[in-house]
A = this chain, B = another copy of it.
Amino acid sequence: MDAIQQLKRKINDLNLWSKKVVLKRNEYLIQPGAVERHIYFIDEGTIRAYIEDDGEEQIIRFAYRNSIFTALDSFLTGKPTRFYLQAIKQCKLQGVEKKDFEDLMHSSEENTRLYLLMLQEFVVQQMEREVDILTSSPVERYKRVLERSPHLFQEIPSKHIASYLRMTPETLSRIKKS
């Protein structure tokens, strides 16, 4: 069982869920300016996180079924988020309050290690993402993401993948064919 499933079972056992959310396609979990005090487990659906820059959406991340997700900037700092979190497909989420989550993470050495591992993994993902964004060749960006996250190409509509890869849907389609 992976770290996230372990964590989910612990939360089940302690009955720490304090929120259930159902999002229809295109509904928002949160938008910029709001403060997020929950962390969520995605039981069903997919979500995209994006920022708006100069009227353009810039997708920064996707989240899938069986993963943990939140507006992490806001969750960690207590300040308003900069991100839009929007359902790509209908989503079912369960949320845990920050205080309960943190108490759980500090309640045993094993849990703390689990949390450290998750954070470290996230840091590594963020560094990969930073290199993605700074890679100027569209073909290289495509190859990097295909190698790292092949499942993305099964689960996410092409127009969103194109935005994530910072190219037009036409360029993405051309690269996939070549």
Task: Please list the residues of chain A having a beta carbon within 8 angstroms of any beta carbon in chain B.
Answer: 51, 53-54, 56, 58, 60, 72-73, 76-77, 82, 106, 109, 112-113, 115-116, 119-120, 122-124, 126-131, 133-137
Contact = CB atoms under 8 A, between A and B. Distances in A.
B126 A123 contact: yes
A58 B140 CA distance: 16
B60 A134 contact: yes
Copies assembled: 2
A167 to B, nearest CB: 14
B133 A134 contact: yes
10 contacts: A56-B136, A76-B120, A76-B124, A77-B124, A109-B112, A115-B116, A123-B123, A126-B126, A126-B127, A130-B130
Contacts of A53: 134-137
A159 to B, nearest CB: 18
Contacts of A106: 109, 113
A105 B56 CA distance: 42
A57 to B, nearest CB: 10
Nearest to A58: B134
A142 to B, nearest CB: 15
- Nearest 4 CB-CB pairings of A with B: A126-B126, A58-B134, A119-B119, A73-B127
A82 B119 contact: no
B130 A126 contact: yes
Given A51-B131, A53-B136, A131-B82, A122 B123 contact: yes
B120 A116 contact: no
A139 to B, nearest CB: 11
Nearest to A137: B54
Contact of A136 (B54, B72, B124, B127): B54
